[in-house]
């Protein structure tokens, strides 16, 4: 009896290849996770490869936990250590804990999230009067982009900066940002991958040691990897090229966050003698659903090529829903959902997907009118709530009293009468002195700069934090209980708007920490905070009860539902058509949307949609034509291909107003041209598609 017995022929082939590079092209619903976990169990339980020589990397904590659980359930030997199966960022965190000294930095760093990063950048911008009006989010995005192509503030050139940002500002602020991170011993998400790569690049002996340790590497969702991840992988497998990557080029939809489809397309070129296995048997969707998905993706030219075959069999025909407007659209979808629920379908088995986030408003309003419970994915996550972020900042500061960033967040929560101006003076002085506020607070200069009362308040706060730090080092549970006595933060939030809800969130947060300690008594508060920082937005998508799930298509990746409705199937909405859009990636998004459905798929478009405060005539998406669902001549709107060649002086015909003379043609990228027409002295603005040129 072998663990491979539960696999089909192609899955078994993929799982049993031991040596050399392997590319597993796994289509949607083809049993990818089963194949990966069985391969890992086979290596350990039947081949005899030590678990410590394996490394399996994925992108989300949820995927890692599921894969770990499945693999361990198949391993029969209870006396072996568990294999390392984690996200890329968790691996980077573990690596830096061991080897951060290679960069002359302490391994007691704190991991910050994107909100923290934006706040740091915002604070830095405020110190430069000329930069105060610059967008922290744009600069943060650019800094992240440069890190992911291996450029530091000193290395990148002005022309490398995206055209929609201020090159000199990004270059200037980036240097101050990196200096701030180092001085406060902070690490951002990009650093968790970039810094290990730099360490391995500069220390050949260590690189060889790590490669000797991890001789068998597997990577899930390989189509989503970026430059840093691929270069880090090359370092880790520099001695043994036993690299098995699993992915689907047809589901590469994250170029906007740095993923590069070329890595999976060129894998065979970069790794010689690669064995390629295609998993094309689909266990999720009906034949009708896969048929339209296959037709759609076949129009892409940049792909390795495969075709999904349904093992589920025949089902309902894919439905195209045409409505006059968005109000009617969501009303009809609501009626269909009610019918499904009445027939016994659970609400959580139904999803409404959209390409454009702005469409969520009409969906939300329509479901509320119908009295249908729903969850809109993309609302504020638990750890991003203000009260939780404040607790995390306090706890970070207690772990590291030199953390100026966390101190700046909590100093006036609860209120202590320390104004922003006073705090800014102190922070600027610490930057000049190259020390922390904690160290500066012990000086006589601190007393004279802030005044006796403010200085006393801050010194007392640090004294309380020192006492809490001592308690924390002996017992995290005792520390949690003592914290509220020393720092009345919970009482502060009790008096705020939605106070009871905020206190409940705080209690839940403290309960999570207590549970982590119970599961691992040796865990430190620092480790707990880093676990929280590494939590994924996708980890909590399906945690809430029975409700219809509404989300954009990117958020639906990796999920499946019995019944799927895709709204906004209109040119300019899906696919998006503005400058810089990759039509092949838009098509891959369509493929992902279709392959989320198990039993039924409904694709919806409207003739007129109310968008950004005005009504616009729409034409159905070209994707509906490519899927073979609507006639060839009804998909491609003339106004996106051309403007009918209209110019001032042309004679046109309108079905209601008759003949008229064109006075002006107004064009806006991604929208239908608007034409001002003189109908016998009556001037009207008409959308171009409603006119016929007759002279």
Q: Which of 12, 32, 375, 599 is catalytic?
A: 32
Among residues 301, 99, 132, the alpha carbon closest in space to that of 200 is found at 99
Alpha carbon of 276 to those of 4, 24, 41, 54, 682: distances in Å? 18, 6, 21, 21, 67
Q: Which of 254, 237, 253 is nearest to 245 (CA)?
A: 237
For Cα atoms 7, 10, 13, give the angle at the middle one, nearest 5 degrees.
85
Q: How far apart are CA 431 and CA 140, in angstroms?
A: 21
- The reply to whether 485 belongs to the active site is no
- From the list 95, 122, 113, 92, the residue with the least C-alpha distance to 396 is 113
CA dist 226 to 59, 175, 193, Å?
12, 23, 11
- Give me the catalytic one of 10, 11, 13, 33: 33
Candidates 11, 54, 251, 286; catalytic one: 251
Does 216 sit behind a cis peptide bond, omega within 30 degrees of 0 on the bond before it? no
Chain centre distance of CA 557: 10
Name residues whose C-beta falls within 8 Å of residue 137's C-beta, 6 or more positions apart in sequence: 118
- Provide the token pair at 430: 């610490």
Exposed/middle/buried for 539, CB within 10 Å: 0-12, 13-18, 19+? middle
The structure tokens listed for 282 are: 């689909």
Report helix angle 191-202 to 88-99, nearest 10.
Answer: 50
Question: Cβ contacts of residue 341 below 8 Å, gap of 6+?
Answer: 347, 350
Residue 33 annotated to the active site: yes
From the candidates 221, 349, 387, 390, which is the catalytic residue? 221
Alpha-carbon distance 655 to 692, whole Å? Answer: 9
Give the separation between CA 124 and CA 131, rounded to whole angstroms. Answer: 9
Please calculate the CA angle 17-19-20 and round it to the nearest 5 degrees.
105
The DSSP letter of residue 349 is G
Task: Select which of 220, 570, 586, 626 is catalytic.
Answer: 220
Give 521: exposed, middle or buried? Use CB within 10 Å, 0-12, 13-18, 19+.
Answer: exposed
Q: What phi and psi, each to the nearest 5 degrees, are found at residue 428?
A: -60, -40
Q: Name the residue with tokens 């060839």.
A: 632
Annotated catalytic residue, options 117, 375, 596, 622: 596
Conformation bin of residue 613: beta by default, left when phi > 0, alpha when psi is -120 to 50: left
Q: Which of 251, 308, 234 is nearest to 278 (CA)?
A: 308
Q: Which residues contact 601 (CB under 8 A, 6 or more apart)?
A: 288, 289, 292, 318, 319, 563, 564, 566, 594
220 a catalytic residue: yes
671 is catalytic: no
Among 393, 357, 387, smallest CA distance to 119 is for 393
Spatial separation of the C-alpha atoms in residues 94 and 100, rounded to whole Å:
10
Residue 32 is among the residues annotated as catalytic for this protein = yes
Which whole-number Å values give the CA distances from 439 to 108, 401, 433, 462, 464, in the listed order?
18, 9, 10, 10, 15
Catalytic residue check, 355: no
Could you tell me the two tokens for 522? 């040796």
**Residue-wise DSSP of 20-40:** S-EEEEE-TTS-HHHHHHHHH
Residues 183 and 261 sit within 8 Å (Cβ to Cβ): no
Q: Which positions are annotated as active-site residues?
A: 32-33, 220-221, 251, 596
């Amino acid at each position: 009896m072998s663990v491979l017995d539960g696999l089909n022929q192609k899955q078994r082939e993929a799982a049993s290849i031991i040596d050399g590079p392997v590319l597993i092209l796994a289509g949607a619903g083809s049993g990818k996770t089963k194949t990966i976990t069985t391969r890992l169990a086979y290596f350990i339980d039947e081949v005899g490869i030590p678990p410590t020589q394996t490394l399996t990397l994925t992108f989300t904590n949820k995927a890692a936990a599921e894969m770990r659980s499945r693999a361990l359930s198949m391993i029969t030997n209870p006396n072996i250590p568990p294999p390392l199966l984690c996200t890329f960022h968790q691996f980077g965190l573990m690596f830096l804990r061991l080897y951060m000294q290679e960069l002359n930095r302490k391994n007691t760093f704190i991991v910050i999230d994107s909100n923290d990063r934006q706040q740091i950048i915002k604070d830095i911008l405020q110190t430069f009067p000329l930069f105060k009006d610059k967008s922290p989010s744009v600069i943060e995005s650019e800094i992240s982009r440069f890190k992911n192509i291996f450029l530091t503030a000193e290395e990148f050139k002005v022309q490398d900066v995206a055209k929609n940002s201020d090159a000199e500002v990004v270059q200037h602020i980036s240097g101050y940002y990196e200096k701030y991170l180092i001085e406060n011993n902070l690490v951002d998400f990009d650093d968790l991958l970039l810094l290990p790569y730099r360490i391995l690049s500069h220390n050949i002996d260590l690189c060889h040691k790590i490669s000797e340790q991890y001789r068998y590497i597997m990577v899930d969702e390989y189509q989503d990897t970026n430059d840093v991840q691929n270069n880090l992988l090359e370092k880790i497998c520099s001695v043994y090229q036993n690299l098995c990557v699993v992915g689907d080029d047809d589901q590469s939809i994250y170029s906007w966050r740095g993923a590069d489809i070329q890595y999976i397309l060129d894998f065979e070129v970069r790794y010689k003698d690669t064995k390629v296995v295609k998993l094309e048997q689909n266990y999720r969707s009906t034949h009708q659903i896969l048929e339209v998905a296959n037709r759609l993706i076949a129009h892409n030219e940049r792909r390795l090529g495969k075709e999904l075959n349904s093992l589920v069999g025949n089902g309902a025909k894919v439905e195209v829903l045409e409505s006059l407007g968005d109000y009617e659209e969501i009303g009809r979808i609501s009626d269909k959902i009610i019918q499904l629920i009445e027939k016994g379908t659970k609400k959580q088995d139904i999803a409404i997907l959209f390409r454009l986030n702005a469409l969520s408003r009409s969906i939300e309003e329509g479901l509320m009118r119908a009295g249908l419970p729903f969850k809109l994915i993309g609302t504020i996550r638990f750890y991003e709530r203000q009260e939780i972020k404040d607790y995390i900042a306090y706890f970070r500061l207690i772990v590291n009293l030199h953390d100026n960033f966390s101190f700046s967040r909590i100093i006036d929560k609860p209120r202590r009468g320390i104004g922003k101006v006073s705090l800014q003076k102190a922070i600027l002085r610490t930057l000049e002195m190259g020390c922390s506020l904690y160290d500066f607070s012990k000086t006589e200069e601190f007393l004279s700069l802030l005044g006796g009362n403010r200085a006393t308040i801050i010194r007392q706060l640090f004294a309380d934090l020192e006492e809490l730090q001592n308690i924390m080092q002996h017992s995290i549970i005792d520390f949690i209980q003592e914290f509220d006595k020393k720092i009345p933060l919970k009482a502060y939030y009790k008096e705020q708007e939605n106070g009871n809800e905020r206190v409940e969130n705080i209690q839940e947060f403290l309960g999570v920490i207590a549970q982590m300690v119970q599961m691992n008594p040796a865990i430190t508060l620092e480790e707990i905070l880093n676990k929280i920082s590494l939590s994924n937005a996708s980890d909590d998508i399906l945690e809430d009860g029975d409700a219809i799930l509404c989300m954009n298509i990117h958020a639906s990746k990796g999920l499946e539902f019995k019944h799927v409705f895709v709204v906004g199937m209109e040119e300019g909405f899906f696919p998006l058509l503005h400058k810089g859009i990759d039509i092949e990636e838009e098509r891959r998004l369509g493929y992902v949307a279709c392959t989320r459905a198990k039993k039924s798929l409904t694709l919806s478009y409207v003739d007129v949609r109310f968008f950004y405060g005005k009504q616009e005539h729409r034409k159905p998406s070209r994707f509906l034509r490519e899927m073979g669902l609507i006639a060839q001549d009804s998909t491609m709107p003339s106004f996106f291909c051309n403007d009918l060649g209209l110019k001032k002086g042309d004679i046109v015909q309108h079905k209601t107003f008759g003949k008229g003379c064109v006075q002006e043609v107004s064009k806006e990228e991604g929208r239908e041209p608007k034409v001002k027409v003189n109908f016998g002295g009556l001037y009207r603005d008409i959308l171009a598609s409603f006119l016929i040129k007759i002279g």
